[in-house]
Each structure stands twice: as C-alpha cells, then as structure tokens.
Amino acid sequence: MSTKRKGAYAAKVKRATHMLFYRRHQKPGVKGWELRKALSSDYPKVLDVLDDFLKPLDLQVKTVFEEEKAPEKPSVDDLDKARFYVTLRGSLEPKEAKMIGWRIDDLAGLAITISYVISKKGQAARRDVEELLGEKLAGWKVGLNLDRYIRYGYLQQDDNEQLYLDWRTRAEVDEKALIDLLLYSEVEEAARSKVKVSVEAEEEDEAGENSEG
C-alpha cells in the first residue's frame, strides 16, 4: 500500500488501535464484525496498515479463526467471525520472561503442555498432562501451573477434565515452530546420549587393555 493511501487510513488506524489495545470483553482482542461496524468493510486493509506501523515495535496484528486450522483463503464471513489481537512479532528473551513473572521452568512446562495437547489432536486428559509434567517439574508445582495456564487463557478445561488449547495459545504461539523446536531438542539430546555412550565404551576398552597389560 502506498504512503498516500496509508495516510487516508490514519483516522481508521487510530480507531482500530484503540479497539485492539483496550480490553472491553472478558477476552482481549476484537471480533471482525465489531471492526466492520466501527471501521467499515475495508477493516482488513486498515489492520494491514496498523500491522506495518507496529513492526518497528516488534508487535503484530494476529488473526485467530474459530476453527483450529486457519483457512488458506479466508472469506469475508471467516474474517468477521475471527478475533484480532496485538501480540509480539518475535519472541521473549529469558530475561524479559522473568520480568513479566514467568520462570524458565514455567515456560518449559507450558511448551510441553501445549505440544502434548497438539500431539493428541487438540484434546488431552488432565491426569495425563499432570503425569507428563511431573517428570519435568516439582510435584507441588504441576497442579498450580496447569491452573495458571488455564487462568491465563492458554488452555481450557471441560467438566470431564479434558484440556484443550485456548485463545491465547492460538494468538501467541507458533504451534509449528514449537513442535519443530521440541523435535530438534530431542534429536540433539539423542545425539549427545550416543556420544556419551560411545566415549564411555572407549574408556572401558582402554581400561580393560591397560589392566591386561
């Protein structure tokens, strides 16, 4: 979009900024139909302009659709039903995460939980997640952390204690990048284990040869 055309959207961008940054509902963000009502039918273009302005601040306008899998070519109806948020464009550094009250092990637990629910096609029993987290976190923290993830909107839990991904995961987490990162970590860990076993075997062989000599 040209600079001249962006200027024509200045008032609408300002209004969109107010709607996205100031929380008016239980969940943050704004529905597409609300933006249409306030900004007219060209609100997707207004959000594109706002997204460009937010880039230097490492922020972005994120679109979250009702379906877990976003449509390849969203229709006007899809956009009207979607919810729009302002989120980080990049990722938090460990020091920044501590400043907002998250310990590294809390973030690791969240990553493990989200990836596990994804691996179970979007639904997992809470007891299974608790068992998994119990291998990584102190026992007393498992339940507290899960309740925190639910309270902050990363997970939702039904009456049968089944866990699902909630709005904040869909808005803030790049699920594919998370899975790729965890898979890479597992490969690295497996490679380190092989090297360790190989080194220990060589040391044992050398020790055996020395004792024979």
Which residues are paired to 109 by β-bridges?
none
Radius of gyration, CA atoms only, the chain: 23
pLDDT of the residue at 210: 55
Domain coordinates in residue numbering, the chain: 3-90, 95-172
211 vs 25: CA distance, rounded Å: 75
* CB neighbour class for 39 (10 Å; exposed up to 12, middle 13-18, buried from 19): buried
Q: Spell out the per-residue pLDDT of the chain, length 213, in tens.
A: 556 666 667 889 999 998 988 866 667 789 999 999 999 999 999 999 999 999 998 899 999 887 766 778 888 999 999 999 888 887 766 666 666 667 888 888 888 899 899 888 889 999 999 999 998 888 888 999 999 999 988 999 999 999 999 888 888 877 777 777 666 665 565 555 555 445 454 555 555 555 555
Question: With respect to CATH, is domain 3-90 assigned 3.30.2010?
Answer: no
- For residue 55, give Cα distances in angstroms to 22, 50, 62, 153: 19, 9, 12, 25
Residue 114 has a CB neighbour count (10 Å cut-off) of 21
- Give me the torsion for CA of 25, 26, 30, 35, rounded to 10°: -30
Q: Determine contact, residues 60/89, Cβ cutoff 8 Å.
A: yes
* Entry pTM: 0.64
State how far the Cα of 12 lies from the Cα of 6, in Å rounded to an integer. 10
* pLDDT at site 94: 64
Q: Which CATH number fits domain 95-172: 3.30.450.20, 3.40.50.10470, 1.10.10.10, 1.10.1520.10?
A: 1.10.10.10
